Structure 1
Amino acid sequence: MEHKVCHFKALNGDVLADIIGRFDGSTLAAAACTCSDLRDIARDQSLWRQLCQSTWPSTALEEAQHILSSSPIGSFHKFYANSYPLLLHGECVKSQEPQTHVSASQFASLVDLYYRKECVLSKVLDGIPQAVEDDSSRWNSNFPFKLELLSLDYDEETGFDNELGYAYIDDDEERRAPPSVSVAEEGKELEQELRLSWVLLDKKNGKAVNLSSWKPMLVQRRWPLSGEYVIHFGSIVQVDEGLLSHKLAMCKIVIRCKLTESGGCPKWREISMHIEDLMGVIVGGSKSLMVLNHALDCLRSTNHHEVKQGFRQYEKQKREMMRKKELMEALIEGFSVSIEVAIFVTICYIYLFL
């Protein structure tokens, strides 16, 4: 080990910095733990800035740089450490000072969409527009939370109506659907080639978390012959029982896109995020903000297999809850029918024998 350290010391500092600058985040962090020379070089924030901007091109946007520089997150090293791992289905790490009020303006979203290993969309969303545009009391209590990053209005070229959320497909468009590619192959292509990062930044407290699953959780075709797909990403968030009765929420990110005839990059029609409880009910504004706040303190992992297992566990719990709900509804319905039959028999008895 001493022999290797001497070689490090013999290297020119610029050469060593250039070598380390080619590391990924995990390797750079591991290298910083080996010796003092590497630790000093790995502390250079310019390396971490370069690493963040190559991992999330949205961080290089002017708006993102302004948000990050004014945030107490402190360093690109901390931002990377917070944002690179994915949320893991498990207990939250309790924060030292739990918040009783969460403001919509304290959040910012940095979103990067990748297709065939190329970043095709980077966008920054500061705050939550719905919480500002709508009446705050109504939004906090009743308004379903939905954070829209991209939503196209209807026009003749795209055939999409934002208000109604329907795709208008004529006969010519159906005939233009590529016959050589099956639905299964198209869905597999999207599942394999589409990746999404949605980093939520708490500008007030200097925390960040990646709300996306990176890889799609579900790929569905919207219409039989339209070439339009709905892709789900997201994460599982453990919350307090006082917030949601089942103590679990899903941060669901939805992408709607249409495949092109040429087989190139799809046309993106919607990218949005909302919160659901374990029963699949969309959570309202104020509770959604609290769920996002809990996500900042949840366990994380760089092991995608662990993350996938967490989703399977969540889906198993969801199916069990739905089964119990259906059983309870069947029992109630059976009990109601029994009461109705008893009342009918009683009325018949009274009518015939009294």
Structure 2
Amino acid sequence: MSVAQMESTSSLSSDIFYDILRRLDGATLASAACACAAFCSISREEKLWEDVCYSLWPSTSRDDVRNLISSIGGFRKFYADCYPLIVNKDLTVVDWDSYFEDPEEWIGADYYGETDEYQGISPSDFISIVDIRYKDKTIFSEVLQGVPYSDGFNRWFYNSPFQVDIIGDSYANDEVGQILISVSDGLPLVQSVESEKKEGKLWKELVDGIRLSWIIVNTKVKQAANISSWIPLGVQRHWPTDEDFVVRFGSILPAKDVVPCQVVECIVVAKFQMVKDDNSGYMHLKLTQLSMQLEDMEGAHMNGRNSLVVLKEALSCQRSKNYTEVLECCDLYSRVRTEMKEEKMRNESRIDRLCILSGIAAFITFWYCIF
């Protein structure tokens, strides 16, 4: 904006400025705030950011969530914390050689979570704010207080595999059947499972159109972060039956001194089932599962105690507005995990050969001593 333009805008009413800025999305609003002092001043208005958050995360319109956001710093801070996605490229620092040379080092307190880090971290400190959108329509919003089945400081929870189910066993009721994406929402016309298997129209729609946000808020430290990738990392078709799609989201979270590989994968899964609508005769998609869990590079589920530590640390890790960086982190994690598995197989193969050779040597020695 030139000096002349800035001088001309200074004569305009601030109400006009406000009316202009309230029509912008969050990223554009943040950029406009850097254009001139008037825009910068008006852009600090909480109502503007409240509207931005509503448009992205419909669940933030709930009174309890509004109060929560106000308590942790307001909508402007909430947007700044949750719109950028988590990135973590610190996988190259892992010393794989020492890990394979001395794996027993991690069989003690650090790996199994018998540390003091979890002290002061309670499942009740965490709130999940989850929104799913298909194209421009919100199909699901939910707010989950705490972690289901954690029962406070319960040893069973802390030592068991960690998983948060929003839709699944904890939502086994008729309401689940109402969470649908239909032809009226923009789904392509697919008349049967067989037709979908041949053409893959619904699969492509999920890849291109579904968006999921899973925001974790820690009420004790007053921090928030989106642990989902927003855009699917992968869609698996026809699993475990021909009627199902598994859509995977997630992020790579730091886990220094918690697991040997120093990082874990946050996996958010939304499962959709194809169901035929009796009225239209076309296939709809029904949301049948929504869950989040943490896994290490060997595919082992993190326990409850370690998961709380990781989630707390994730609230302050690096983030980026560039989705390409998020994909690069996930791809890097997949490559390193593959390399680790291959290295582990090679080590196991060497150990097996050494065991065989040792057995043969012992057998020869035994017969030599006899004869």
Partners of 1:105 and 1:144 lie apart in 2 by 18
Partners of 1:208 and 1:158 lie apart in 2 by 28
Same amino acid, percent of matched pairs? 34
1:48-127 correspondence runs (5 A) = 48-69=49-70, 71=71, 73-90=72-89, 101-127=120-146
1:1-354 correspondence runs (5 A) = 1-69=2-70, 71=71, 73-90=72-89, 101-132=120-151, 136-140=154-158, 142-152=159-169, 177-182=192-197, 184-223=200-239, 226-240=242-256, 242-261=257-276, 265-350=284-369, 353=371
Deviation at 1:16, TM superposition (A): 1.8
Q: TM-score, normalised by structure 2?
A: 0.81
Partners of 1:52 and 1:211 lie apart in 2 by 17
Partners of 1:64 and 1:52 lie apart in 2 by 11
> What SS is found at the alignment partner of 2:249?
strand
Deviation at 1:226, TM superposition (A): 2.8
Partners of 1:310 and 1:276 lie apart in 2 by 16
Offset from partner CA, 1:76-127 (integer Å, 9 cap, x none): 00000000011112359xxxxx986322111111100012331100000111
1:186 to 1:329, Cα distance in 2 relative to 1, 3 A:
farther
1:345 to 1:282, Cα distance in 2 relative to 1, 3 A:
same
- Assess if the C-alpha contact under 8 Å between 1:90 and 1:238 holds in 2: no
> What SS is found at the alignment partner of 2:260?
coil
Partners of 1:139 and 1:206 lie apart in 2 by 24
- Assess if the C-alpha contact under 8 Å between 1:52 and 1:76 holds in 2: yes
Partners of 2:23 and 2:297 lie apart in 1 by 42
> What SS is found at the alignment partner of 1:33?
coil
Deviation at 1:237, TM superposition (A): 1.0
- Assess if the C-alpha contact under 8 Å between 2:118 and 2:305 holds in 1: no
- Assess if the C-alpha contact under 8 Å between 2:269 and 2:289 holds in 1: yes
> What SS is found at the alignment partner of 1:89?
coil
Partners of 1:84 and 1:249 lie apart in 2 by 21
Partners of 1:280 and 1:224 lie apart in 2 by 19
Partners of 2:161 and 2:205 lie apart in 1 by 32
> What SS is found at the alignment partner of 1:197?
strand
- Assess if the C-alpha contact under 8 Å between 1:91 and 1:298 holds in 2: no
- Assess if the C-alpha contact under 8 Å between 2:126 and 2:219 holds in 1: yes
- Assess if the C-alpha contact under 8 Å between 1:148 and 1:272 holds in 2: yes
> What SS is found at the alignment partner of 2:194?
coil
Larger mean CA deviation between 24-33 and 1-10 belongs to: 1-10
Offset from partner CA, 1:46-65 (integer Å, 9 cap, x none): 11111101110010123322
Q: Which amino acid aligns with 1:26?
A: A
Partners of 1:245 and 1:55 lie apart in 2 by 36
1:154 to 1:59, Cα distance in 2 relative to 1, 3 A:
closer
Deviation at 1:349, TM superposition (A): 4.3
- Assess if the C-alpha contact under 8 Å between 2:193 and 2:242 holds in 1: no
- Assess if the C-alpha contact under 8 Å between 2:118 and 2:308 holds in 1: no
- Specify every segment of 5 or more residues in structure 1 that has no aligned partner in the other structure, as ranges: 93-97, 160-175
Deviation at 1:25, TM superposition (A): 1.0
> What SS is found at the alignment partner of 1:214?
coil
Partners of 1:264 and 1:78 lie apart in 2 by 41
- Assess if the C-alpha contact under 8 Å between 2:275 and 2:286 holds in 1: yes
Q: Which amino acid aligns with 1:203?
A: T
> What SS is found at the alignment partner of 1:259?
strand
Partners of 1:154 and 1:178 lie apart in 2 by 25
Q: Which amino acid aligns with 2:165?
A: E
1:39 to 1:224, Cα distance in 2 relative to 1, 3 A:
closer
Q: Which amino acid aligns with 1:187?
A: W
Offset from partner CA, 1:192-245 (integer Å, 9 cap, x none): 1111001111111221100001111121135475311212110001232x2121
- Specify every segment of 5 or more residues in structure 2 that has no aligned partner in the other structure, as ranges: 92-116, 178-190
2:100 corresponds to? none
The root-mean-square deviation of aligned C-alpha atoms, in Å, is 2.6
Q: How many residues align?
A: 326
Q: Which amino acid aligns with 2:73?
A: G
Partners of 1:82 and 1:158 lie apart in 2 by 31
